[in-house]
Amino acid sequence: MTELTTHPFQPAGDDADDAFHEECGVFGVWNAPDAAALTALGLHALQHRGQEASGIVSLGEKGFRSHKGLGLVGDIFGDARVMAMLPGRAAVGHNRYATAGETALRNVQPLYADFAFGGFAVAHNGNLTNALALRHSLVRRGCLFQSSTDSEVFVHLIAISLYATVLDRLIDALKQVDGAYSLVALHDGALIGVRDPLGVRPLVLGRLGGEGKSWVLASETCALDIVGAEFVRDVEPGEIVIIDHDGVRSVKPFAHTSSRFCIFEYVYFARPDSVVEGTPVYETRKRIGLELARESGVDADVVVPVPDSGVPSAMGYATEAGIPFELGIIRNHYVGRTFIEPTDTIRHLGVKLKHSANRAMLQGKRVILVDDSIVRGTTSKKIVEMVRQAGAKEVHMRISSPPTTHSCFYGIDTPERDKLLAAKHDVAEMARIIGADSLAFISLDGLYRALGRKGRDAKDPGYCDACFTGDYAIPLTDLEGHAERRPALLALNGV
């Protein structure tokens, strides 16, 4: 889910926060008491995928009910009076990440519409790469858009479809969109889950209660755990799962193609206690650290993670290198995003609000810092500086992803390419800029080895890794469609 703005070609977001952000998490429940409350719990477990807005649409005896708000799930749905307004045994919900100023309530999902066939609610994780072209065409045909999100094109494509059934209309709509999408949708007769043909974004199916008649769809397994649902399986790339009173059935309307699951989910986005595509994220991150240590070992006294996402990789690194693992940086979990800080002086202090040096673990030591990625480099620079000020003798930075040289167009908030440090500088220059004694990234092959492959197979990578390679597997139609801006846009985005 990404917003279509007057400058739609940019990857979503251009804030000063120096990290990648997941754009959304989705959750759905079918045939369970207190479906909305379960959905609120599921969204809480998926809070890391979007912190700026949430919504739930429930389906009860009196029809659909909706509640949406800006802020964290607990703030929006923590009030019993709100939950009482969302009765029913089925619900869908959505967490949203968006850039400041564009977080309007009208863009908060799930989107809901009344069609001739009844009510329909849909929540989307991902980003459509031809949404602008579709939107222009739909507007010319008289469609009135209520929001500025790309996800709304699903609603209009379903509305104007000439097919009779909801499922056929949905398939008709899906065949017209390009991009990354995991959807949960709800109508009078069914809960529906969909993954795009390449399966870029995750979606899992779970079962509640054991009797086999209550079902859950969620972006990650950690959201199944919180509601006590048993993991059944991943929804497959290109699969539509229809859950109704007859159980679960599956439709695969797309020609088979190799999948391209987002490899960055393993590095950073997914919660470490989730199992993604059959692979535990925590274990994978430790193996990434192990590969990183094999590739770029250096003499040092301690291995220190940049918390939180650097922790499992640093553990893997320390084990492989035989160097003590220490929590030399402590994270304050009660601080919001740095970019809300109003003045330059305060903004400069931002990293210290989030991270503090544990001086006793750093003083006089040669330190290996392990982090998940370098985006703009501003945070890395501040952290290296902080560790030196705490008395470290040497600071060696190790990164558990390859250099991020390209923007993501498939649902992750990244800066434009010219703001990515690795797009403009080689590793030696980057080390100098962030002030580290040495800097190394895991290689692309090393990352694939951590996932159980021999290395990256260029003909069939099996994962999306476009932000490291520029190999965009899904057409960037909106980018391509504007000839007058094409040279600058292609240069900007490295395609």
222 is in an annotated binding site: no
Residue 153 and residue 162 in contact, taking contact as beta carbons nearer than 8 Å = no
Count of beta carbons in the 10 Å neighbourhood of residue 428? 10
Question: Which range, of 258-266, 290-298, 325-333, 478-486, touches ligand SF4 by CB under 6 A?
Answer: 258-266
CA distances to 86, 177, 293, 356 from 475, rounded to whole Å, are: 39, 10, 36, 43
CA nearest neighbour of 421 among 474, 346, 371, 362: 371
- How many residues bind ligand SF4, per CB under 6 A? 11
Q: Which residues are catalytic?
A: 24
467 is an interface residue for ligand SF4 by CB under 6 A: yes
CA nearest neighbour of 39 among 1, 79, 2, 89: 89
> How far apart (Å, rounded) are the C-alpha atoms in residues 55 and 69?
6
Q: Give Cα 120 distance to the centre of its chain.
A: 24
| CB of 201 vs ligand SF4, minimal distance in Å | 8
138 is an interface residue for ligand SF4 by CB under 6 A: no
Question: Which range, of 150-158, 184-192, 372-380, 460-468, touches ligand SF4 by CB under 6 A?
Answer: 460-468
**Residue 193 backbone phi and psi in degrees, to 5:** -120, 140
CA nearest neighbour of 369 among 444, 428, 436: 436
Question: Which range, of 30-38, 70-78, 406-414, 438-446, touches ligand SF4 by CB under 6 A?
Answer: 406-414
* Selected binder of ligand SF4 within 264, 266, 317, 325 (CB under 6 A): 264
Q: Binders of ligand SF4 among 355-394, rule CB under 6 A?
A: none
Residue 242 and residue 230 in contact, taking contact as beta carbons nearer than 8 Å = no
Could you identify the residue written with the tokens 């809901």? 112
Question: Which range, of 130-138, 216-224, 256-264, 389-397, touches ligand SF4 by CB under 6 A?
Answer: 256-264
412 is an interface residue for ligand SF4 by CB under 6 A: yes
467 is in an annotated binding site: yes
Tabulate helix, strand, coil % of the chain (nearest 5).
35, 25, 40
436 is an interface residue for ligand SF4 by CB under 6 A: no
Q: Which is nearer to ligand SF4, 381 or 406 (CB)?
A: 406
401 is in an annotated binding site: no
466 is an interface residue for ligand SF4 by CB under 6 A: yes
200 is an interface residue for ligand SF4 by CB under 6 A: yes
| CB of 268 vs ligand SF4, minimal distance in Å | 9
> How far apart (Å, rounded) are the C-alpha atoms in residues 359 and 378?
22
| Residues lying near ligand SF4 in the complex (CB under 6 A) | 200, 262-264, 408, 410, 412, 464-467
- Residue ranges of the annotated binding site for [4Fe-4S] cluster are 262, 408, 464, 467
- Residue ranges of the annotated binding site for Mg(2+) are 309, 371-372
